[in-house]
């Protein structure tokens, strides 16, 4: 269980760090939608 949380955290941390300088609105939208999917599946809280 802890490994799954670490993987999810790593995924989101990477997207947020790389997303701080979004190149376009579309890339920001894509990143946020992926994070929302993870939240909706209950993988992160």
pTM of the model: 0.44
**Average pLDDT, integer, range 19-33:** 75
Residue 19 CA to residue 26 CA, distance in Å, equals: 11
Residue 41 CA to residue 37 CA, distance in Å, equals: 6
pLDDT given at position 30: 85
Domain that includes residue 10, residue range: 4-43
Residue 43 CA to residue 28 CA, distance in Å, equals: 21
Residue 45 CA to residue 25 CA, distance in Å, equals: 25
pLDDT given at position 20: 62
Q: What are phi and psi of 15, to 5 degrees?
A: -65, -40
Please give the tally of structural domains in the chain: 1
Q: Where are the alpha helices (DSSP H) in the chain?
A: 2-19, 25-40
**Average pLDDT, integer, range 31-42:** 82
**Average pLDDT, integer, range 15-29:** 71
Q: Who wins on pLDDT, 45 or 14? A: 14
């Amino acid at each position: 269980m802890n490994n799954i949380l670490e993987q999810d955290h790593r995924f989101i941390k990477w997207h947020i760090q790389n997303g701080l300088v979004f190149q376009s609105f579309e890339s920001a939208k894509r990143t946020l939608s992926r994070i929302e999917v993870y939240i909706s599946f209950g993988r992160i809280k």
